[in-house]
Structure 1
Amino acid sequence: MVKIETVLFDFDGTLADTNSLIAQSYLHVLDKYFPGKFQTEESVLAFNGPSLEEVFSSLDKANAEQMIKEYREYNHARHDEFIEVFPDVPEVLASLKKAGVKLAVVSTKKKELLQHGLEFLNIHEYFDVILGSGDFTKVKPNPESLNIAMERLEANRESTMMIGDNPQDIEAANRAGVKGVFVEWSCKSLADVASYQPYKTVKTMRDLEQLIIAENNGGDK
Structure 2
Amino acid sequence: MTDYFWDFDGTLYDTYRGMVKSFVIACTESGFKVESDQVYKSMRRTSLHQTFAIFLKNVDFKKKQRIVTRYETVEKSEQTNDRPFKGAAEVCKWVIEQNGRNFLVTHRNKSALNMLKRDQFTSLFTGCVTSENNFPRKPNPASLNFLCDQYQVDKDNSFMVGDRALDIEAAHKAGIKGILFDPDDIIFVETVPDKRIKSLLKIIV
User: Does TM, scored on the shorter chain, surpass 0.5?
Assistant: yes
Matches within 5 A, 1:56-67: 56-58=52-54, 59=56, 60=59, 62-63=61-62, 64-67=64-67
- Alignment partner, residue 76 of structure 2: 76
CA pair 105-52 structure 1, distance change in 2 beyond 3 A: same
Q: Distance in 2 between matches of 1:88 and 1:33?
A: 38
Task: Write the mapping of 1:140-155 to structure 2, written as runs, cut at 5 A.
Answer: 140-155=138-153
1:132 has 2:127 as partner: no
Q: Are 2:29 and 1:32 equivalent residues in the alignment?
A: yes
Partner residue in 1 for 2:106: 107
The answer for the alignment partner of 2:37 in structure 1 is 42
**CA shift for structure 1 position 184:** 2.6
Q: 1:192 to 1:91 in 2, by over 3 A?
A: closer
For these two proteins, the number of residue pairs brought into alignment is 200
Per the TM alignment, residue 61 of structure 1 is displaced from its structure 2 partner at its CA by 5.9
Query: Which of residues 113, 116, 134 in structure 1 aligns to 2:114?
Result: 116
CA distance in 2, matches of 1:169, 1:55: 17
- State the Cα deviation string for residues 163-214 of structure 1 (Å, max 9, x = none): 01111111111221210111132x5x2x52332211111232221022xxxx
Q: Which of 117-126 and 8-17 deviates more?
A: 117-126
Q: What whole-Å deviation, never above 9, does each CA across 1:99-137 have from its counterpart, x for those lacking one? A: 210110101011x20111112222121000121112133
Instruction: Give the Cα–Cα distance (whole angstroms) in 1 for the partners of residues 49 and 182 of structure 2.
Output: 26
Q: Counterpart of 1:9 in structure 2: which amino acid?
A: W
Q: Separation in 2 of the partners of 1:21 and 1:150?
A: 32
What's the counterpart of residue 167 of structure 1?
165
Which ranges of structure 1 fall in alignment gaps of 5 or more residues? Answer: 211-221
1:19 aligns with 2:12: no
Q: Structure 2: give runs of 5+ residues left out of the alignment.
A: none
Q: Is the 8 A contact 2:5 2:103 kept in 1?
A: yes
* TM-score of the pair, normalised by structure 1: 0.82
User: Which residue pairs with 2:200 in the alignment?
Assistant: 205
Q: 1:180 to 1:103 in 2, by over 3 A?
A: same
Identity percentage over the alignment? Answer: 22
| Structure 2 length-normalised TM | 0.88
Kindly indicate whether the alpha-carbon contact (under 8 Å) linking 2:4 and 2:95 is maintained by their aligned counterparts in 1.
no
Distance 2:134 2:14 in 1: 24
Runs (4+) off by over 6 Å: none
Residue aligning to 2:188: 193
